[in-house]
């Protein structure tokens, strides 16, 4: 998907700020997500994710405000994209990522899908949300239930999502 098609899908302009792009994506994905709209929302959700991914890559490359898509390359044999070099660090540890402020709480694994953090419930939730903002976009957040969903763009350009649910227990 090119920048023009991505902007059209999200209803944004080339001069719009990133916050406008993000807000438009969040607003539309909440309405068209298959959990809300059923099967009818699948195609639109795929389109919105592709548009958001395209604009996120453009932002990272400093091309978010380009006026229009570059012309297509001349016809000829194409080369497959080069794989990520073995020594390249994952996105979360590259220099543009910054950790939440303050000392990190002690963390221990309770079982295969449960971590225990030595911080207050509110502080734990805040830290997880802050960290998630650094690596992706939160598409759903319910503070009263301590749950959120985020969309990430992986190194290969595909989108993925994850859900975090906090349960306050004493251990």
In this structure, is residue 101 part of a structural domain?
yes
Q: Which residue did the predictor score with more confidence, 20 or 143?
A: 20
Q: Are residues 56 and 17 in the same domain?
A: yes
Question: Per-residue pLDDT averaged across 9-20, rounded?
Answer: 91
Question: Beta 114-117 vs 107-111: how paired, if at all?
Answer: antiparallel
pLDDT over 50 at 19, yes or no: yes
In this structure, is residue 111 part of a structural domain?
yes
In this structure, is residue 85 part of a structural domain?
no
Q: Output the pLDDT for position 95.
A: 47
Q: Are residues 7 and 56 in the same domain?
A: yes
Q: Are residues 55 and 115 in the same domain?
A: no
Q: Are residues 160 and 95 in the same domain?
A: yes
Name 4's Cβ contacts closer than 8 Å, sequence gap at least 6: 68, 69
Q: Are residues 43 and 103 in the same domain?
A: no
Q: Are residues 98 and 157 in the same domain?
A: yes
Cβ atoms within 10 A of the Cβ of 70, count?
9
In this structure, is residue 95 part of a structural domain?
yes
pLDDT digits (tens, 9 = 90+) for 35-69: 777 787 788 888 888 888 889 888 888 888 887 65
Q: Are residues 56 and 119 in the same domain?
A: no
Q: Are residues 49 and 107 in the same domain?
A: no
pLDDT digits (tens, 9 = 90+) for 61-78: 888 888 765 566 666 665
Question: Per-residue pLDDT averaged across 127-141, rounded?
Answer: 84
Q: Are 6 and 117 in contact (CB under 8 A)?
A: no
| CATH number for 54 | 1.10.287.110
Q: Are 32 and 49 in contact (CB under 8 A)?
A: no
The residue out of 18, 40, 60 marking a domain boundary is: 60
Q: Output the pLDDT for position 11.
A: 93
Q: Are residues 100 and 55 in the same domain?
A: no
- Give the DSSP H or E segment for 81: none
Q: What's the domain count of the chain?
A: 2
pLDDT digits (tens, 9 = 90+) for 108-133: 888 877 777 777 777 888 888 888 88
In this structure, is residue 125 part of a structural domain?
yes
Range of the domain at 11: 3-60
In this structure, is residue 110 part of a structural domain?
yes
Q: Are 17 and 68 in contact (CB under 8 A)?
A: no
Distance CA 25, CA 146 (A): 22
In this structure, is residue 157 part of a structural domain?
yes
Q: Are residues 56 and 98 in the same domain?
A: no
> Exposure string (b/e) for 16-40, b if CB count within 10 Å is 16 or more?
beeeebbebbbebbeebbeeeeeee
Average pLDDT, the chain: 77
In this structure, is residue 79 part of a structural domain?
no
| C-alpha atoms less than 13 angstroms from C-alpha of 15 in its C-beta half-sphere | 0
Q: Which residue did the predictor score with more confidence, 56 or 81?
A: 56
Distance CA 148, CA 128 (A): 10
Q: Output the pLDDT for position 1.
A: 84
Alpha-carbon separation of residue 79 from 6, 58, 98, 158 (angstroms): 24, 21, 35, 19
């Amino acid at each position: 998907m090119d920048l023009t098609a991505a902007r059209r899908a999200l209803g944004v302009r080339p001069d719009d700020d990133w916050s406008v792009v993000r807000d438009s994506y969040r607003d539309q994905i909440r309405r068209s997500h298959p959990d809300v709209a059923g099967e009818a929302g699948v195609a639109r959700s795929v389109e919105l994710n592709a548009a958001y991914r395209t604009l996120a890559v453009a932002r990272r490359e400093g091309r978010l405000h380009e006026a229009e898509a570059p012309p297509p390359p001349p016809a000829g044999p194409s080369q497959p994209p080069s794989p990520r070099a073995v020594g390249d660090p994952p996105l979360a540890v590259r220099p543009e990522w910054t950790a939440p402020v303050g000392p990190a709480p002690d963390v221990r694994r309770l079982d295969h899908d449960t971590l225990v953090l030595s911080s207050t419930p509110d502080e734990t939730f805040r830290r997880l949300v802050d960290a998630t903002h650094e690596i992706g976009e939160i598409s759903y957040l319910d503070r009263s239930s301590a749950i959120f969903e985020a969309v990430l763009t992986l190194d290969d350009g595909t989108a993925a999502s994850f859900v975090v649910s906090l349960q306050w227990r004493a251990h």
